[in-house]
Amino acid sequence: MDSCPHCGEKIDSPDAKFCTKCGQQLTTEATIPSSGRSGLLDPSRKYYFIKERYWDLGYGDIYDEKGDIIGRMHRRLISLRALVELREADNETIVGAVHRKIVAVRPTYDIKDANDRLVGRVAKKILSFFRPSLWLQDEKGKKLLTAKGNLFGWNFKIFDAKNKLVAEVSKGDALRDMFIGGVFDFSDKYAVHVFKDDVDRLLLLGFVVAIDNIVHDKKTIKLFR
């Protein structure tokens, strides 16, 4: 395959399982879970492909560029905090969690590590519907990352505190949402391209999960809060 049938991006590797631009799956072959040789939060990872399942409820798998499962998302249902756990591929080892802050003026999500320690808080700029803007700050309120979305937030660029590009996030099913309006929005797919090794992978993945919840899962997630 020379190019992605979904977005037209050039495919360099004949063994590629996902498009590195839009996250579209390029093969229907079953993937084998990773052996965990380097872990979900390995700072050398350049790509994450997040594939949500079950009606936007927060369940799903996280793949590498080879199509191996390197992590899982697990949602605790009937939770006021809309808690999503990030786990290693074994589905047992919890590396972090993302949950909604109940008392907040604006949409806000907390990111916690495996020891339930707050490591980041995500909030959305209130007046930013057409081009959503979100930020991630530490427990002391220092801004660490900023996500700036394109029209309606189909894609995001993430910048650090020095305004250096850290990562790009592309929604692989944006065309479906655009033309069908979310009627058949059973799940969301994201491709995350990381440009800086020193960005904390838990913060980055937690940021993407929070963006999905705040920007794209608003209608479905309310049913289970």
Residue owning tokens 């605790």: 76
The confidence band for 182, taking pLDDT boundaries of 50, 70 and 90, is: very low
| Lowest mean per-residue pLDDT among 57-61, 67-71, 72-76, 146-150 | 57-61
d(CA 165, CA 184): 33
Residue range 17-50, pLDDT digits in tens: 788 777 777 765 544 444 444 699 999 999 999 9
Residue range 119-138, pLDDT digits in tens: 999 998 876 667 889 999 99
Mapped to the 3 state alphabet, what secondary structure does 1-63 carry?
Answer: CCECCCCCCECCCCCCCECCCCCCECCCCCCCECCCCCCCCCCCCCEEEEEEECCCCCEEEEE
What residue segments make up the domains of the chain, in order of their start? 75-172+195-224
The confidence band for 56, taking pLDDT boundaries of 50, 70 and 90, is: low
* pLDDT score at 61: 94
- Sign of the Cα pseudo-torsion (107, 111, 117, 119, in order): negative
Task: Report yes or no: 56 and 40 within 8 Å, Cβ to Cβ.
Answer: no
Task: Report yes or no: 169 and 209 within 8 Å, Cβ to Cβ.
Answer: no
Q: What's the predicted TM-score (pTM) here? A: 0.78
The confidence band for 98, taking pLDDT boundaries of 50, 70 and 90, is: very high
